[in-house]
Amino acid sequence: MNDVQTPRSTHTPALARWLGFALALFLATGCSSEARDVTVFFSNNCAACHGINLQGGTAPSLLTNVWTQGADDISIARAIREGNPTKGMPAWKEALTEAEIRAMVVLLREKIAKAQSETNIVAKPIDGEVVASVEHKFRFKTVAEKLDSPWSIAFLPDGRMLVTELPGRLRIIEQGKLLTNAVSGTPKVRAQGQGGLMAVAVHPGYQTNGWIYLGLSHGVKVDGKDVSMTAVVRGHIKDNQWTDEQTVFRAAQDSYLPKTFHYGCRLVFDDKGHLFFSIGERGMKEHAQELTRPNGKIHRVFDDGRIPSDNPFVGQSNAVPSIWSYGNRNPQGLVRHPQTGDLWETEHGPRGGDELNLIQRGRNYGWPVITFGMDYNGTPISALTAKPGMEQPVIHWTPSIAVCGMDFYFGDSFPRWQGNLFVTALAQQELRRIVLDGQRVTQQEVLFKNIGRVRDVCTGPDGLIYVALNGPNKIIRLEPVK
């Protein structure tokens, strides 16, 4: 796995014989057709030379970014596969499958990122502290505290903020104050695991129709077992009560699952009366490729739930007619560019391979046939990162940042952030600013880090940026500092 120039003197004939013996032993005892944890393989076969954290041993450190055979994923995979006999590194192509070689690349990316994170300095601000980013100085102000797992933010035209709490409550923040009582009468949810009351969105015509939309994990019992699936409803709020509820989307009951994760669930309107929403594959990888199932898809319906006749799979007896795209693992962010109309999506990869996608009609986004990640237990999922007929992400994050909600900024408070895409992350606890040139990412900046799991971001009518944090369970906003 040596992909850097190694001094000839570091690989003695004895070491070369030892490496050859290790390879022969592995081929005799450890090479099976079953997926293996590449972390164990690395520890047993690579760490002696490269160091368990890539800090180097008998071979130089791999943390210097000096990779003589190339530092891109393809070059690293080739180095693992073919080795470098002149430097004493064995070829692992007989010991590792192509899928395992891909997983090994992910492992190396994780180790490199971990080492870099220990030296990079990123703001971890507190209320009132000034942060100097590339384009703007800003400070935080806490808007609301003591929430219970805030999941989604939306604003009413009068400036009131709606916030969902995952256990099943809808809260209102009015004039900077969190109302004591949650909105009563909201739909019952299956609040287990990652499920609960998730997305909230306000209809573009709210001032005339008053519709508010909720995405949730809808639960039922089948044969005495609790099962659930993502559902969408709409209703009105009158005197702090949820009323006039209507079902916008509910899947066929035979598609409901007992698992309590990967619900996806973001809600986005276009300017033609359509509602887009996401459903994760619910932990069933193969379902994302099956058009007969709703999970692992982006859907499009009219705002009342009717199916548009120009949806890509309308009229096919073996397809759910609301499907707009498929092969999506766990879509956690969904937003429409207010100027171009492009639909952008972020989705969780497994261990590696979080994606930023441009969602287009009828396209297949590949999961789990292609992925830049591996499974959580260190075993591979696929050898393929690309395949004809399947879309590539605009970018992918490997290692995973656990990408979540996002929003385009077009406010007045931060003029040099106009048109930037703001993306949240759970595991890495960060807010990223992404600069786009059309449909191409040209720059990323981490604005802050490690103040909580960053669940959602939303531009307020005042032009300020509002962020939902899990962990401290509060809403904060970014305010400009001159």
Catalytic residues: 262
Other Cβ atoms less than 10 A from the Cβ of 274: the count is 16
Residue 69: partners with Cβ closer than 8 Å, 6 or more residues away: 3, 4, 75, 78, 79, 84
Other Cβ atoms less than 10 A from the Cβ of 23: the count is 18
Place of tokens 């705002």: 303
Helix, strand, or coil (residue 25)? helix
Listed residue (289, 301, 171, 282) closest to 230, CA to CA: 282
Residue 291: partners with Cβ closer than 8 Å, 6 or more residues away: 313, 316, 318, 319, 320, 323, 326
Other Cβ atoms less than 10 A from the Cβ of 471: the count is 14
CB 293 within 8 A of CB 299: no
Cα angle value 364/166/335 (rounded, 5°): 40
Map 111-177 to HEC letters: HHHHHHHCCCCCCCCCCCCEEECCCCEEEEEEEECCCCCEEEEEECCCCCEEEEECCCEEEEEECCE
Measured between alpha carbons, how far is 408 from 406 in angstroms, rounded to an integer? 7
